[in-house]
Amino acid sequence: MASTESLAFAAWLAAAAALLAPGAARADHACDPIAEEGWSVLATNEIVGIADSAPYRAGAPGDWFVDRTTTVLPLCNYFNAVGSYSLRSYSLDPAQETERVGICRTGAQGMSVAIPPYAGRCPPR
């Protein structure tokens, strides 16, 4: 039987791995509690899609933007001290978030310049 310290370490390790995994985002949803001893629950949001709209001009003549829509899948992951996942793990409905992202801005002499990390042409075509 595992010691309390090893159980706590395994839970901490699983939580850290889920938070540092590519595509993981901070979870803001609640999961059903689990009453069985030795099992833990970890809520995560996995990014499953990112899509940009066509570029559009807004504001100053050289300012260009895209609307970026990010689709996240809320997950409730149940695991034990050994790291085994339970078949009780489940996902909730995907959610979409849209934000306005600048890709070009008006620079010196009225020229449009790229806003990093965008490396495309300004103005975009």
If DSSP codes are grouped into helix, strand and coil, which group holds residue 39? strand
Q: Is the pLDDT of residue 10 over 90?
A: no
Q: What is the pLDDT of residues 69-119, one digit of tens each?
A: 999 999 999 999 888 888 889 999 999 999 999 999 998 888 899 999 999
Q: What is the pLDDT of residues 11-49, one digit of tens each?
A: 444 444 444 444 455 667 899 988 888 899 999 999 999
Residues whose CB falls within 8 Å of the CB of residue 86, separated by 6 or more in sequence, listed in order: 34, 39, 78, 79, 80
Gyration radius from the chain CA atoms: 22
Give the per-residue pLDDT at 7.
38
Ranges of H-type helices in the chain: 4-20
How is the chain split into domains, by residue range?
Answer: 4-114
